[in-house]
Structure 1
Amino acid sequence: MGKLTDIQIRNWIKSGEQIAKTDGDGLTFTLSKSGTASWILRYRFGNKPKEKTLGRYPDISLQDARRLALENRAQVQQGINVAAEKKKFKNQEANIWTVKRLAEDYFEKVTSRLAKSTIKGRQQQLRDYVFPKIGTLPAKDVTPAEIVDITERTSNKSLHVARLVLVVLREIFAHGIARHVLEINPCAQIRANSVIGPRPVSRARIMLSEAELKAMLPALPAIGKENELMVKILLATAARIGELVKAKWTDVDFTQRQWTIPAENSKNGKPFIIPMTNQVTLWFSELKEIAFGSSYVLPIRARKKTTKDAPMEPVTLNAAINKLSLNLEDKCRRFTPHDLRSTARSHLGALGVDLLIAERCLNHSLGGLVAVYDQHDYLAERRKALELWSSFIDSCEIGKKRNKQESEAKYYD
């Protein structure tokens, strides 16, 4: 070797002509039609011509190419077919079960038994917190220390998400053991309490009283028309905030007075019809007037962030409710959008609504044999119950007192 120089190589690359120039002892510099410059080692093995690509120039310099050629020729003299070994290694790499590949296989196998929202959440957790750290590592080589590190780093942003990340990693590695991809689950002896501390005490769900509703509802205009209408719709329909912000006008039927929550927006992955009372129909109509032609019932407000038609973020309403709570002081406890759902359920019961109907108003599964044998969705009964509830909301907004006997008489009429 030693026939070529760096100046020659740079000139050949500059000319762009397809060439193959030998440096001696089988080391050859090649330049393809597309302009790719590479080093090739040509040799004979078993009395047959062979060649192995050592790498590209200038990633591998002339000096490095000569060193690699000498090392590979030494292996050939020891009876090793270096080209075949490289191919074998590449095939082994392609078949390695990395953490990312194992996760993809896990999701492929469990999609039939997990809710879409659960799968989406777990995939997002892996993408944000796991794959950047160990996604390309062979699953069998992941250590408990690496799992602990990921859990701790995630906990700096959210203790709740850190626990979810540990759960999905434990399941993915258990899936790997079942597939005989690895022998030990690196999560097996890791406990969230030992890594990030005990689980925080769950916040008690708030059910706003009649007195609190009478203080809160008249104060809603202070947080803006759109926020006011959102709070009223959530309260009157017992819907989830995510279901409302993702709603499109194609889901709202003003003629039939029905709001359909499509399967992809529903927590249980099934479509659900909410009967719209006169009040809710009016509130949706008001929202349509200020939607400015958007396909979404609640379009994104920060138009500068995107030119696309998109729904607003749920946190927008949280911020508005926080502002409202400051104004209400001790007249009404601070509540979340989900507390409006709890409030609706509590008052439906107080108004005399049947337990089964009240649960279906919240799209709760009836469970057990009832869910198996009773496929009737009680649309008419739910409409009647929600009309009673909307009437109660109206009376709270205008400060009218309504007794339980009067409400029950109207419900059972």
Structure 2
Amino acid sequence: MNNKQLNKIIKDGVPGRTAIGGGLYFRLSTSGTCSWQVRYTINNKRKWFTLLDSYPHLSIADAKHDAVLLLRDVKHGKDPALEKKNALQEEIVTVHQLFDDWFKTDINKRLKHPEIPHRIYTKEIAPFIGELRLKDVTALQVRSIIHKVIESNRPATANDTLMYTKQLFRHAAKLGLVENNPALAFTMSDAGGAEKSRDRALDLDEISRMFSVLRSQAHTFTRDNYLACALLITLGVRKGELIAAQWQEIDFDNEVWHLPSERSKTGIAISIPLPADVIEWLNELKVRSAGSIYVFPSRRASVRRGYISDDTLNHALAKLFGKKVDSNKQPTNNHFEEQDVNHFVVHDLRRTCRSLLAYLGVSSHIAERCLNHKLKGVEGIYNRHDYMDERREALDKLAALISPLINHTED
């Protein structure tokens, strides 16, 4: 067996094991992952052991050498699989250590947005059981974690917390670190319940009152937050796409935002036409960003990334609804309720954009592309037209409709 033959196996993409000789096998998984495995027998049981490095990082010759050493240890009564398990158990003792291993070996490789389970663990799970030994975590403690989130009136987050707790301890069970999953018996009914699709969208009167409230509370609701809301409702982009935007993506000359594929939720790059009012808001933000590469730079020097937190806008709006978001501060009045604005969340601004596009008579397929939704069915397969001109016309109409409400100066 040589490199040329192995490369052909990889190229053909047929999963399975190929014997190399001397108990060494080359394995190609269904996902296309390569690995070296050694077959051995101990205590009359046939077992497989996967070498730490894989092809091409570990050559055929080096893999054969490692296999010889491993089988020599087997002859002396050592079980490499058991020793690996024992070493892992010594390393992973606490819930913190378990999450670090899960994040490194699974989440960070498998999920497009690994920061979501990381945030849920850090905020909702770790403060209560992070320092505990795995064997000491009980179902009662899991229930207490879930109830804490429910009491904060965040049913969707409660469901996510339960889901990730289950997955975390499923990882522990997979590694043989625990016999029972303390979260397994709980269901969605024990957490936030079945989640209903939101249909909240603000009408023009509410949009006017909403921005009036934001202006009246400028001492707590910053100008950056104000312009972020303006951009969300005018462009219909996702919050995560907006807050991580960099100035190098903004083409002021051609009035286009080039959203790269790695930050687009669909995984496909898209060029977003920018109405004249949006360009004015971005010019203001450029000055306010004070040389940062980000449109919305972090407001604290000690944070792990250069742009604002995922919760910044959520918390800022929640405060104006009279919700307690800071354990050290008392909640304020519900300023939105005082102006007859019913409760809404950040994502509802995106839905509001879609609703207003329909109100303006924009064709459904154009409006869907404005929101960077994939077209469904046969149309999505064959219709690759970007509708740039049509989207620019639609967003210009929308900006003309709502920018007077956003740019309004109080008498």
Q: Give the residue type in structure 1 aligned to 2:256.
A: Q
CA drift at 1:391: 1.0
Q: Distance in 2 between matches of 1:242 and 1:358?
A: 20
Gaps of 5+ in 2: 1-76, 93-97, 322-333
Which structure's CA Rg is the greater one?
Answer: 1
Instruction: Look up the SS of the partner of 2:339 in the other structure.
Output: helix
Larger displacement relative to structure 2 (234-243 or 162-171): 162-171
1:233 alignment partner, one of 225, 231, 238: 231
Partner of 1:146 in structure 2? 138
Partner of 1:215 in structure 2? 209
CA drift at 1:286: 1.2
Q: Distance in 2 between matches of 1:374 and 1:239?
A: 22
Q: Give the residue type in structure 2 aligned to 1:153.
A: I
CA drift at 1:199: 1.5
2:386 alignment partner, one of 355, 377, 381: 377
Q: Distance in 2 between matches of 1:386 and 1:206?
A: 21
Match status 1:290 vs 2:288: yes
Instruction: Look up the SS of the partner of 1:267 in the other structure.
Output: coil
Partner of 2:163 in structure 1? 167
How many percent of aligned residue pairs carry the same amino acid?
A: 28
Tell me how many residue pairs correspond in the alignment. 303
Q: Over residues 291-348 of structure 1, what are the superposed CA-to-partner deviations in whole Å (9 max), with x where a residue is unaligned?
A: 211221122335xx53998322354434554549716723433433222111111110
Partner of 1:191 in structure 2? 186
Partner of 1:389 in structure 2? 398
Match status 1:351 vs 2:379: no
Question: Are the counterparts in 1 of residues 159 and 191 from structure 2 also a CA contact under 8 Å?
Answer: no
Q: Give the residue type in structure 1 aligned to 2:87.
A: A
Tell me the TM-score normalised to structure 2 length: 0.59
Question: Are the counterparts in 1 of residues 169 and 183 from structure 2 also a CA contact under 8 Å?
Answer: no
For the aligned residue pairs, the C-alpha RMSD in angstroms reads 4.3
Q: Distance in 2 between matches of 1:296 and 1:180?
A: 41
Task: Give the direction of change, closer, same or farther, for the CA distance of 1:165–1:211 in structure 2 (3 Å limit).
Answer: closer
1:311 alignment partner, one of 307, 312, 329: 307
Task: Give the direction of change, closer, same or farther, for the CA distance of 1:168–1:257 in structure 2 (3 Å limit).
Answer: same
Q: Over residues 141-160 of structure 1, what are the superposed CA-to-partner deviations in whole Å (9 max), with x where a residue is unaligned?
A: x69x7355335325424654
Match status 1:368 vs 2:377: yes
Question: Are the counterparts in 1 of residues 156 and 195 from structure 2 also a CA contact under 8 Å?
Answer: no
Q: Distance in 1 between matches of 2:209 and 2:256?
A: 29
Task: Give the direction of change, closer, same or farther, for the CA distance of 1:220–1:199 in structure 2 (3 Å limit).
Answer: same
Tell me the TM-score normalised to structure 1 length: 0.59
Question: Are the counterparts in 1 of residues 142 and 183 from structure 2 also a CA contact under 8 Å?
Answer: no
Task: Give the direction of change, closer, same or farther, for the CA distance of 1:151–1:162 in structure 2 (3 Å limit).
Answer: farther
Question: Are the counterparts in 2 of residues 263 and 269 from structure 1 also a CA contact under 8 Å?
Answer: yes
Instruction: Look up the SS of the partner of 1:294 in the other structure.
Output: coil
Q: Distance in 2 between matches of 1:317 and 1:126?
A: 21
Q: Give the residue type in structure 2 aligned to 1:215.
A: R
Match status 1:94 vs 2:103: no
Partner of 1:243 in structure 2? 241
Higher helix share: 1
Q: Give the residue type in structure 2 aligned to 1:332.
A: V
Instruction: Look up the SS of the partner of 2:362 in the other structure.
Output: coil
Q: Give the residue type in structure 2 aligned to 1:383.
A: R
Instruction: Look up the SS of the partner of 1:156 in the other structure.
Output: helix
Instruction: Look up the SS of the partner of 2:237 in the other structure.
Output: coil
CA drift at 1:246: 1.4
Partner of 2:148 in structure 1? 156
Instruction: Look up the SS of the partner of 1:260 in the other structure.
Output: strand
Gaps of 5+ in 1: 1-83, 400-413
Q: Over residues 174-226 of structure 1, what are the superposed CA-to-partner deviations in whole Å (9 max), with x where a residue is unaligned?
A: 6788x7969987379613256x3551765844211122233344565432533
